[in-house]
Amino acid sequence: MSDDDISETRGKGEGELSLDFPRGRIVRLGALGALLGFPGLGLWVALIPAALLASSLSDGALTALLAITAPLTFAISLLLPPMLQRARAPRPARVTWDREGITEHDGPHVRTAIRWLDARARIDDAERGRVLQITDRDGRAITLATPRAAPRWLARRKACTPELDRLARVLVDVETGPEIAPDARDARRPTMGPQVALLTVALAAIALPMMWLVPDLRRILPAFGALLVCILCAAPALRPLHELLDLLALGRRFERSDESTIEEGEGREAIVKRKEGTWLRLDLSAARHPDAWLATRVETLVHAVLPLAGWVPSPQRLGIGPAVAVTDIETAHEREVRRDLVRAASIELAARGAAVVWWAIASLRPLWE
């Protein structure tokens, strides 16, 4: 089959699907936050104002203040997790396909684009639904799922649609891809299984009855319970910490990046105009950018990490020298997304850290009483 035939076969039935978070994910985040994830933060908010003003307020005024601040405990615990989830992906998401390839959009911008000629696809069916991943040999990946089947590492962004079968029918003739796994961007935030929670519950099931049966140990029951909650709050805090460190390391790689605008491109090479008005030809193959058509996106602002030596910019568009290989490149939109994720991960880490500190103090109180 010729390349044209392959393109026509794989691209037929061009269409578009809107993407969103998994159904029930926001509700579960709020419920878990209210029960476990952020109660320490809510208690700080509720009790610190009362503690600071206790000496200057009457008992009635102090009670009224607590009646105002105490509901904040529940409200913050309930609302903060889903708000942070929304902040990670504030723009509408969709996936489109045509004769040339498939593109995942983040608002008006491209998140990932894969050519049909390089595409491989894998579809995993389960009782709860279907997960579909399209990849190519340069490491690009578009992962979609039906709402109930989204794996943990996919549930943090808009990648779900109940109409996934529409796209699956287009992939009948596409080469089978490798096992479905998170790409580098999804892997920044590691997933955690239930092992920590199960071990903590097991410890509580064994230790609490023994402590209750021994009269001398009963007085530390509240502290031991606070320790268990502290462990359950500390383990999830490792996820935003890992993500934040990875994003900050990525930002450091771009500290010496060169800001340019794509003026012309073909294949994997693009002619760009730098800020100071000089010109360069860039070879984007080594960067393995998620957008397979980045070189052809005229007027796109990019930040490219150039080698320290061995290249000379051209003062005019004519006479540009050989292509300069870049190892890292990101668009202005990707830089904005990275900063949004840094803010969201920082807020989540701070909130989870406040909860951990609260329950740690509560568990250590018997030591100084």
Residue 100 shares a structural domain with residue 224: no
Residue with token string 């018997």: 366
Per-residue pLDDT band at 362 (split at 50, 70, 90): confident
First to last CA, the chain: 80
Residue 116 shares a structural domain with residue 151: yes
Residue 124 shares a structural domain with residue 135: yes
- pLDDT per residue over 130-162, tens digit each? 999 999 999 999 999 999 899 888 888 999 999
Say how far apart CA 252 and CA 269 lie, in whole Å. Answer: 25
Looking at the chain, which runs of residues are DSSP E strands?
Answer: 15-19, 93-97, 101-106, 109-115, 120-126, 129-135, 141-145, 175-176, 258-266, 269-274, 279-283, 301-305, 324-325, 328-331
Domain edge (last residue) among 88, 113, 135: 88
Domain range for 40 is 27-88
Highest-scoring range by mean pLDDT, 1-10, 211-220, 353-362: 353-362
Number of domains in the chain: 4
Give the model's pLDDT for residue 241: 94
Residue 145 shares a structural domain with residue 158: yes
pLDDT at 37 over 60: no
Domain edge (last residue) among 138, 160, 186: 186
Give the model's pLDDT for residue 35: 58
Per-residue pLDDT band at 252 (split at 50, 70, 90): very high
Residue 165 shares a structural domain with residue 61: no
pLDDT at 36 over 60: no
Residue 70 shares a structural domain with residue 120: no
